Amino acid sequence: MIWLTWRQFRAQAWTAFAVLAVAAVALAVTGPNLARMFDASGIAGCAARGDCESLTTAFLDQVGHNAPDNVLDHLSSWVLFAVPSLVGMFWGAPLVTRELETGSFRMVWNQSVTRTRWLAVKLALIGLASMATAGLLSLAFFWWSSPVERLSMQRMTPEWFGATGIVPVGYAAFAFAVGVTAGVLFRRTLPAMAVTLAVTVGAQAFMALWLRARLIAPLRVAAPLTDAVLNNFGLRPATGQFTVFTQGGAAIPGAWIISAPQTVTTPEHVASQACLTQLRQNLATPQACIASLARLHLKEVVTYEPLSRFWALQWYETAIFLGLALVLAAFCFWRGTRRG
């Protein structure tokens, strides 16, 4: 049965292997260069000199302008988000439907192997292959992006969280199980593929946009709107008022800021009103106005998940998707091996 599974899966396995090889080569070729750039940037010793901020900005700018790195950086995360859906659509969905559509199930289910075992071997082997593919890609990307990651600390953001660490493995297992389940339910490949894509992307989005922030209760902090924060985010005179647009959490490095960007509208009666008038008349500088705002001791409430929770959240999320995959697999056994 293992032989047959491998024989039928061989072509897809080589495709996956080719994708992995291309990714590995691309990352291996550019990776050392990225590390060299990091070494050359002098960031390593910046703490002693106190010029970390400018060096970091310069380095990230350099990466952003270096075409292959920038493209790879974004492409890799997209690939890692897409791999689960692809695995579900092209490995999961046809697993049962192809046998049903060609009628070959009537041949293979009449060999001396029970349907339960047939399905078990297929689910186990191809499921593991799905997880391995996603896992290896994630690992390669993790290694490649580590110099950038150390500085930009983006991996908690929804754009990156799902493309790093171990969650891609959970997504892949889940998507594969969704594919097989959809195949068992719809019995035709095309609708099964469409449903797999929709469910997988939907689950990824649901997790990133809603559930993840609820896995571990986020931290709250009332960050003072100091000079520095206000400087970072600027000040826009709007209709007769000062409206401060903040993104918050600038003081919490690497955290995933969950609270929506706030607009803090200063009350009309405060001193800032006078500053606005002066600003209009070019009697005051924006800096002076910021300083006057800072004197109001406004606070911004920020909810966030700190960087230190990265692995805890990764494990939670992976466990949830692996659990769902197991539930779906159990359903496939119940439904798929039921006769007639």
Partner 1 sequence: MTAVVTTEGLGKRYRKGWALADCTLSIPAGHVVGLVGPNGAGKTTLLNLATGLLAPTAGTIEVLGGRPAAGPRQLAKVGYLAQDAPVYAGLSVADHLKLGARLNPGWDADLARDRVARLDLDPGQKAGALSGGQRAQLALTLAVAKRPELLILDEPVAALDPLARREFLSDLMETVAEQQVSVVLSSHLISDLERVCDYLIVLIASRVRIAGPVDELLSTHHLLTGSRRDPDRLPAGQEVISASHTDVQSTLLVRTADRILDPAWTVSEVSLEDLVLAYLSQDKSKRDPHRRQPHLRQHRHLEVQK
Under 8 Å between Cβ of 84 and 169: no
CB nearer to partner 1: give 187 or 236. Answer: 187
124 binds partner 1 (CB under 8 A): no
Contact pick of 12, 115, 284, 294 for partner 1 (by CB under 8 A) = 115
121 binds partner 1 (CB under 8 A): no
CB nearer to partner 1: give 111 or 232. Answer: 111
4 binds partner 1 (CB under 8 A): yes
d(CA 203, CA 212): 11
d(CA 127, CA 160): 24
DSSP per residue, 265-325 = EPPTTSTHHHHHHHHHTTSS-HHHHHHHHHTTT-EEEEEEE-GGGHHHHHHHHHHHHHHHH
340 binds partner 1 (CB under 8 A): yes
CB nearer to partner 1: give 73 or 99. Answer: 99
Among positions 94-113, residues that touch partner 1 (CB under 8 A) are 102-113
CB nearer to partner 1: give 65 or 338. Answer: 338
d(CA 88, CA 171): 10
Under 8 Å between Cβ of 122 and 184: no
Whole-number Cα distances in Å, 60 to 55, 87, 186, 204: 9, 33, 48, 28
7-26 mask for partner 1 (x: CB under 8 A)? xx------------------
Q: 200 forms bridges with which residues in the sheet? A: none
219 binds partner 1 (CB under 8 A): no
339 binds partner 1 (CB under 8 A): yes
- Total residues at interface with partner 1 (CB under 8 A): 23
- Report the interface residues with partner 1, using CB under 8 A: 1, 3-4, 7-8, 102-115, 117, 338-340
